[in-house]
Amino acid sequence: MNTFRILILAAAAALISPLTRAAVSEYNNSSCCNKVVVVKQYNFYNSVLQNCPTFEVTISCGSSLSISDYYESDQYHTFELRNETQYTYTVAASCAPSVTISSTTLKAPISQRTRIGVGEVVTVTVSPASASTWYVTSGVGTLSNPSSGQVTLTAGDTASTNLTVTATVNGSNYSKTFTVVAPSGVFAERQNSTGVFHQWGQPSAGMKLWLYVLPDDVNFENVYIQEGCSDVVANGYFLYQNNNPTYAHTPGAWNKVSYQPIAGKGSVFSNDTAQGGSDNHTPYITGNFTWTIPYSYKVGASGTERGPFTSVNQTKSITSTGAMTVTKGAASVTTQLNDPTTSY
């Protein structure tokens, strides 16, 4: 029986292009039934394969034997080919499938990220494309529209550090793991293009706001946000409103988050108004009024309510001269008692 033993090196070492084989040594081993044992070393690192995390190596000896498998790029592998008549063999290497992802919802520049928002939709691709079976092997997510080398993943509605999608290709598994993040904060920004609300001779102030949901590095396009209930905490001039249900903050509408997050702000979900006034009783004395407004989210219009995930203070305060300041988060507006009447 003729025995050929081949040592395969698939390492990111010297660049050899096109694919070649470099003989390290060839020798006769008389202890092996007096047959020739050929030992060769191969380097499959070339311009085509240099970025491959793994190689698909095929070794054939005529028509009687073919071995194909996947190997990490820094490992040695030994094969023993036995054949009575064949004395030649061929070795070929190609880039083994690798799993890549691209976002279908978040615009440039970050399309290959694995940190995604609850409810976010991404496309997961195995490349080169081939017949694949797709699974969610950990975490919560749904797969749809599978094709030979691609599937659409929709993240679940809760945070997770291990949402893993696996493609089975020719009996081998290739996985991609995602971190899913939920809404974590709300940022309020005054709309500078709009006016200020005030009624001359009456303590009053108001402003238009954009409300953003954080964080700013994922897409929450499928998320809805709602402001919840808040009792009043008040003192001084507004003491009569303290804990009075008439002045409590009531739940707002569910607002859909916009398509594109803005760095440092997040994704817009509300064109909001923050406004405060009084019954204009005198004398004016200092006083403060606060709502601590909770925020909840859900994925999809009919999704399960989650939260509250954060809260934001909305306040109004008055001075002894009748000047009023209204705040929401970090945004604020102040008017004087005798400022002219203005509106948004």
**pLDDT of 109-132, one tens digit each?**
356 788 999 999 888 888 766 667
Which one has a higher pLDDT value, 167 or 96?
167
A 10 A CB-CB count for 186 gives 23
Q: Give me the pLDDT at residue 250, please.
A: 97
The number of angstroms, rounded, from the C-alpha of 99 to the middle of its chain's C-alpha atoms is 16
Pick the CATH number of 98-181 from 3.30.465.10, 2.60.40.3440, 2.40.160.20, 2.40.50.140: 2.60.40.3440
φ/ψ of 246, rounded to 5, equals -60, -30
- Give the tens place of pLDDT for each residue, 84-93: 343 344 445 4
φ/ψ of 327, rounded to 5, equals -130, 155
Answer for the pair 191, 208: CB distance below 8 angstroms, yes or no: yes
Distance CA 271, CA 209 (A): 6
For 179, the token pair is 């971190």
> Picking from 41-50, 131-140, 221-230, 247-256, which range would have the lowest pLDDT averaged per residue?
41-50
* Residue (of 74, 26, 25, 76) closest to 52 by Cα position: 74
List, in sequence order, every residue forming a beta bridge with 296; answer none if it has no partner.
226
Q: How confident is the model at residue 200 (pLDDT cuts 50, 70, 90)?
A: very high
Distance CA 343, CA 26 (A): 91
Answer for the pair 238, 278: CB distance below 8 angstroms, yes or no: yes
Q: What percent of the chain has pLDDT over 70?
A: 66
Tell me which DSSP letter residue 301 carries.
T
Q: Any idea which residue has 């995602």 for tokens?
A: 178
pTM: 0.72
Q: How confident is the model at residue 71 (pLDDT cuts 50, 70, 90)?
A: very low
